[in-house]
Amino acid sequence: MSIVALLRADSLDFPLFLHVLGAMILVGGLVAGAGALGFGRGDVRFLRLGYWSLLAVSLPGWVLMRVAGGWIYSKEGWDDLPAGASKPGWLDAGMLIADFGGLILLVALVAGGAGVYRLRRGGGTRLLEVTLVLALALLAAYIVAVWAMAAKPS
Amino acid sequence: MSFDDWMLALHVLSAFAWVAGVVVFWILIAAVRRVDTAAEMIRMQPVVRVGNAAVGIGMGGTIALGLWLAFSVGGYNIWDGWIIAALVLWVISAPLGQRTGAAYMEGANKARELQTAGQTDPSAELLALNRTSKGVVFQFLWTVVVLLILIDMIWKPGA
């Protein structure tokens, strides 16, 4: 692992910076979003803050992380492996969590958007509770992804 | 997986916690600019505590595990320029984070004061404290220093 880090090509530094920065923004937005939704206790302004943290911070973070990750993937030649060669498990795991996590984030945002709309019309907070649960699940999944990407266990 | 691989993974996770905390505080700084009642201000405190915990775990984890890695991983030494730069930036970041917190604590303290006095109406003084430009400047400088650490960790100049 240390040798791999020492031998990483310089040309990967910038996409790696964007990838890591995007992932950090994504996680920060999830922490703030889950915190505000979890501690909102029915306060409309606070619940909206939680939703907007996910929409305006986590989503752009996810896009930056995924686009820069794809850039690294292509630069490293993982999309053009010779026949019989296989990708390392940590890469598959990281990509699966990133892509599936993106889908879950979109579902959380749709549920949260509908929840905020209902709140404005005096409805309940059930949909925002769904968003909270999904945000916490995403947070747990991305912690696993960060561990897999950093430790590269295979 | 070796012990050093585990330490590296935890070091990176600590860095994520730290930056997540910085992001949480940016979101709170944006939100607090519209807060002019004690009740709303006090309602924000649990999220502030989450941000504080993330920054505390992140800063503690990055420095402790980073030092471990500097001594343990072959090819890196504690006197490498990029490691010294990271340590200096870490030291600079601590008072900047503290000053950001202190600037926003003035609003939190005022909110507690108002609550104790039973004042539930909007307060112009509280709003002014929550719109502190000093706090924004310290938060901006803190963020720049944290980003410089991230840049240093990825480019490892001189390694």
> Pick from B20, B40, B155: which is nearest to A31 by CB?
B20
pLDDT at B118 over 60: yes
Distance separating alpha carbons of residues B18 and B60, to the nearest angstrom? 9
Q: Does A117 touch chain B (CB under 8 A)?
A: no
pLDDT at B116: 94
pLDDT, mean of residues A125-143? 95
Residues shown for chain A: 154
Per-residue confidence band for B74, with pLDDT thresholds at 50, 70 and 90 = confident
Residue of higher predicted confidence among A16 and A76: A16
CB A62 within 8 A of CB A12: no
A79 is written with which tokens? 């999309």
CB B70 within 8 A of CB B81: no
pLDDT at B151: 97
Q: What is the mean pLDDT of chain B?
A: 95
pLDDT at A7: 54
pLDDT at A4: 46
Q: Does A152 touch chain B (CB under 8 A)?
A: yes
A151 is written with which tokens? 């430790």
Distance separating alpha carbons of residues B159 and B155, to the nearest angstrom? 9
- Name the least confident of A137-141, A147-151, B83-87, B126-130: A147-151
Distance, in angstroms, between B117 CA and closest chain A CA?
23
> Hey, are the CB atoms on B15 and A24 less than 8 Å from each other?
yes
Q: Where are the alpha helices (DSSP H) in B33-132?
A: 38-43, 45-72, 81-116, 124-130
**Best residue of A21, A24, A46 to probe chain B, by most B CBs closer than 10 Å:** A24
> Hey, are the CB atoms on B54 and A32 less than 8 Å from each other?
no
pLDDT at B20 over 80: yes
Q: Is the ipTM of this complex over 0.90?
A: yes
pTM of the model: 0.92
